[in-house]
A and B are shown apart, each in its own frame.
Chain A
């Protein structure tokens, strides 16, 4: 036991005791602790195992820079894998388990792997496991790898809160510089947001000295915070700026407690001031990964923030001046601190799980804790996310922010300004968008970088077990670019994403190549700054609210009628009605529609109005078919094509007047068609003579189809002559129902007499009820979309996207005339005359009949030819036709139109059967029913 809780000091609440367990043993801590600080206070030293060699590890850092102590943590039945011990606030009842070690961090059965280290160096797996087969080795390697274990359970109500926000100035980091900047900006009237990832403000201030501008640290911090708030500034603690994205957007993640999903704030900031501080760099020497070797700054942080003294006999190895305050504080807290010269000869940490001392050259120093610092590295991740450049500073032996990204400034330690006074001056200037006057710098550092060729195992990346020798090996094998180095050795790819390892790796490679560090390069930092739960990106857009369906105004009526509802083209629609099994219900509905009538909710069909003096020419251009000749009151079926000639949509267009058309595109394409019409309207047309209004959702449409349709619609008593002569097929009449305008269209998707009645949605229930009541007199009733699919397939009517694919052109469906005859330009015209469009072997729409007594052909089956079967077509729709009492199918088949009567081979999942090519229309090919 080396670490202990101090009698006083720190931000923790000693008055309250929290109980928790780690690797099965019970411990206590206090509010304000992290799991790491509480364990250190309990004298626990081994808090983790390394990824590859399972070396015992203590903590290196005190916050997001610790690569070692990672736990699976459970609380009240909710477990979260891979929690960094140094950033997980302690909660009463927590059960923490070390990851990737068993039974405990202290006694890990895989600890013996370290003995094999000489064969498990960088990239060893690229050089072996080739024979006999990688698949033989992979499963066990996978089991060895990985850190935390997923318990397979969902956390209840684990929903990220997601908001948008905006501010004039976002200050990232609530240390001295950030506080000063935020205060100055708030006092200047700016809308300021200050974010700090710790639960409390103050940042690195607690560890850096006794007073600030003549005030005690805590008092100064409180005063800044209060003044910011008083001036309208907002302070978000427990909040990490995890990424900077384009156009000033900063992603903020706010902690909301263990097993609660964080809040995502998409913060749009006019300006960002980065006050993210600096990190202590590890020192590269033999066995520098021993538990008890720790960052000097972190030790100060444990002491001043958490009231934990990490050791009794402490040796300090530091090459810079930044740790003076820390050393003072540790001494004041009662530790015996010996400062040693890191340049005095090769260094080696001594001891195993318990550090016993350090050897420097010939000299040996007894200690239980070795605190090291090889310099400060500004935290510049956000700067790099935003595309900012870095400059190498020889004076500070570090990369510091160089050319700034737009709208961003760096201040304080993040900017390499390690002294407090200049940092505050810089902060106050930055608050007003100004650079600070250059000032002196008291920070001194003696460069101390990894020395290639030296002895011992010297860790560069602690979690991933990358040592100096691995870097040397990479260099020897010519993996010398920084990215190759990273990828070959996995240096910097661990959970801390290189926060502790990148600089040492870079410096080692520089030394090997005999180049200055900046010539070797920097690495790219990618968001997120720290790992964030995937849920952060998820939020309320889940379940029914992910791509929510459109709802019919008649849904209550359908539900009441016992409709089975399903998703069809983005709408929730009745598939069939009633309690019968689906197949039977659909069959009965088809038979009813053919015998009497079916009443169908067709509301999702598009109703896009095209109006204006140029409307006629415009729709004539948009459609494949000639529309210019369409007379008012008439309707025409047609296709819209893509410019490459493929069918995009089919449907009918009605002409309401000389300068007014209504396009009834398919339900799923309304938004797409409307946008397409608008594009063409504004591109190549005169938008002042042409207007497109989408009125689809104003209307509800009820279709009555079947031999009794005329009687049923007649029962409404509309002021309309429904006789065949007065109201022929493919015409439209405007009428009135209960005082509201009613459009009645004679179009048919079933081959039977049909009336399509459209009324404003809020009145549709009355229309529906009236039709259902009238229908009941004729044994007619509602039909769902499944029955309609069968009805239309019996007639050989296609559904675009189902019976066509991305290559199908109108001529493949038997609509070849406009392609050859239409004189004026139309969308897709040129695409209809490419070599492929003229190919005699194009796939064409056909019907198929199955041999007597055989089951329905499978949709998705292919039609094949040859001994080594080659696909020459596909079955696109297939049903059992209750009307014909036999299976029917539609298919696309090479040269199909000319192959009527031919027997073809149907191939499905390796099984073959036969079918006969037939016309697509299987029912009433003469069309007698349509005008019955």
Chain B
């Protein structure tokens, strides 16, 4: 069996009809008891299991997924990875993620295609340039890479953008993070699943949690469509359904669910080599390795659990895209879809204990869960293994709301993240 991926094994397997490849993961039945249960087989849940095993030696772990691995927001996003945030706490979190992503392909022996092609956040006026300067300075001070670009420097990186001075929002410059980029979203889930599986984690698909079992106020296990499973600690990483699980278990969250749409065009030969985001137009895009333009924008304005989008936001986002890069008007849209995202009052995630003892939550990533997968898993694993926060996750505890310590990136930087 070929377990290890490399050009050599590929060569060998090619010669023998690829019959020797080991399964990427097993399909175990749930055991009655684990040290840790991770609810949710998306990126964060899988990363949590992976780091539990790898960093903490906790391998008696089950990941319970109600559908298929990576079937939630992990497989429905626009694949952008970046750490261009304003507050030190955010930068620490997201930059940890970027650093982990940088080595993840090798570590997992699975090519997640992290392409550090850089990201432009366009500034369209002098006040926006001042805000961009504030942002770039903050990022540099917080220890991540950032540059303030003028219009000519933006043009060099993305010549297809609209540089006309009479554009609705003319380009004055941009913030640039060179280490930002994109990755193949499904591969992140699969690579982590395979990695966790190889370390002994049970990844159990089609296993929906139907109830949380508590004894003396403490969560001791879950009831699932495939039987009861117990554990010392339970972690929930179920973005999109965080409130549903909270209701089952009896804790509360400051989360509202919204649909976030994404779009992909027909494949084109390369037209843009970076990720370009215009807050003014409310649109960002990049080009996948396959050639499709991957386009995203703001949330639908109606709270929703329906995994589908609505025309008004499509008109806003795609209309904005064309204003941003008029030559794309004639390019055809291939497909659009929506994920359900957890939106918190400050657009920052929640990592920490829930009000139910023994049950911990990783949620509230809003539109930015994908970029945070390795860090979210890394920190959540720390929490589940030790029962205590890692320094980086501490500011993201739900307790911040009562204390007024919100980490409101949108308000701070003028950019809705």
Contact = CB atoms under 8 A, between A and B. Distances in A.
Interface stretch (B108-116, B238-246, B356-364, B367-375): B108-116
Interface string B134-173: 1111101110000010000000000010000011100000
Interface string B295-329: 00000000000101011001101111111001111
Interface in A775-806: 801-802, 805-806
A802 B167 CA distance: 24
Contact of A82 (B10, B166, B266): B266
Contacts of B19: 476
Interface in B1-42: 5-7, 9-11, 14-15, 17-19, 21-27
B25 A862 contact: no
Contact of B266 (A148, A805, A871): A148
Contacts of B132: 860
Nearest to B266: A82
Contact of A484 (B69, B271, B402): B69
A511 B138 CA distance: 57
B186 to A, nearest CB: 5
B88 to A, nearest CB: 8
Given A118-B14, A158-B329, A537-B314, A146 B168 contact: no
B391 interface: no
A149 B327 CA distance: 12
B248 interface: no
Nearest to A122: B18
A214 interface: no
B168 A478 contact: no
Contacts of B127: 802
Contacts of B109: 130
A816 to B, nearest CB: 16
Interface stretch (B51-59, B380-388, B405-413): B405-413
| A145, A541, A869: most-surrounded residue (chain B CB, <10 A) | A145
B200 interface: no
Interface size bucket, B side?
A: 35 or more
B141 A862 contact: yes
B111 A535 contact: no
Contact of A146 (B11, B131, B267, B321): B267
Contact of A155 (B133, B330, B333): B330
B411 A532 contact: no
Contacts of B251: none
| B75, B125, B329: most-surrounded residue (chain A CB, <10 A) | B329
B27 A119 contact: no
B326 A128 contact: no
Contacts of A874: 134
A149 B331 CA distance: 10
A126 B321 contact: no
Nearest to B281: A546
A481 B24 CA distance: 13
B247 interface: no
Nearest to A831: B404
Given A142-B291, A483-B75, A80 B330 contact: yes
Contacts of B331: 81-82, 150, 533-534
B141 A478 contact: no
A525 B24 CA distance: 27
Contact of B319 (A141, A251, A261, A538): A538
A437 B332 CA distance: 42
A134 interface: yes
Contact of A535 (B106, B167, B168, B322): B322
Contacts of B131: 860
Contacts of A719: none
A669 B73 CA distance: 35
Interface stretch (B92-100, B211-219, B228-236, B334-342): B334-342
A542 B403 contact: no
Contact of B168 (A81, A145, A544): A544
Contacts of B88: 870-871
A77 to B, nearest CB: 13
A644 interface: yes
B68 A526 contact: no
B174 to A, nearest CB: 14
A637 interface: no
Contact of A860 (B5, B137, B337): B137
A806 B385 CA distance: 35
A537 B315 contact: yes
B257 to A, nearest CB: 16
B121 to A, nearest CB: 14
Interface string A247-269: 00101000000010100001000
B105 interface: yes
A860 B115 contact: no
A119 B336 contact: no
Contact of A138 (B115, B308, B414): B115
A152 B160 contact: yes
A119 B21 contact: no
A534 B105 contact: no
B270 A143 contact: yes
A261 B329 CA distance: 9
B210 to A, nearest CB: 20
Interface in A370-416: 385
Nearest to B2: A127
Given A484-B68, A806-B412, A152 B138 contact: no
B190 interface: yes
A527 B338 CA distance: 11
Contacts of A363: none
A243 B263 CA distance: 14
A153 B328 CA distance: 9
Contact of A537 (B17, B125, B318): B318
A858 B148 CA distance: 13
A664 B244 CA distance: 44
B265 interface: yes
Contact of A909 (B130, B148, B270, B290): B148
Contact of B6 (A130, A158, A476, A870): A130
B187 interface: yes
Interface string A456-499: 00000000000001000100111101011001101000010100
A129 B112 CA distance: 10
Interface stretch (A353-361, A708-716, A832-840, A848-856): A832-840
B141 A834 contact: no
A460 B133 CA distance: 52
A143 B5 contact: no
Given A125-B111, A476-B23, A802-B127, A488 B330 contact: no
Nearest to B131: A860
Contacts of B15: 118
A836 to B, nearest CB: 3
Contacts of B129: 860
A27 interface: no
Contacts of B114: 134
A861 B133 contact: yes
B289 interface: yes
Nearest to A528: B333
A148 B269 contact: yes
Contacts of A541: 315, 319
B326 to A, nearest CB: 5
Interface in A805-846: 805-807, 831, 834-837
Contacts of A532: 332-333
Nearest to A129: B111
A121 B18 contact: yes
B333 A836 contact: no
A546 B319 contact: yes
Contacts of B205: 481
Leading 10 A-B pairs by shortest Cβ distance: A806-B411, A834-B404, A146-B291, A860-B133, A836-B404, A531-B332, A127-B5, A481-B68, A537-B318, A860-B134
9 contacts: A121-B14, A127-B9, A150-B327, A259-B330, A479-B24, A484-B68, A533-B332, A534-B332, A535-B329
Given A476-B23, A860-B133, A910-B140, 7 more contacts: A127-B10, A128-B111, A138-B289, A487-B75, A534-B332, A541-B315, A871-B137
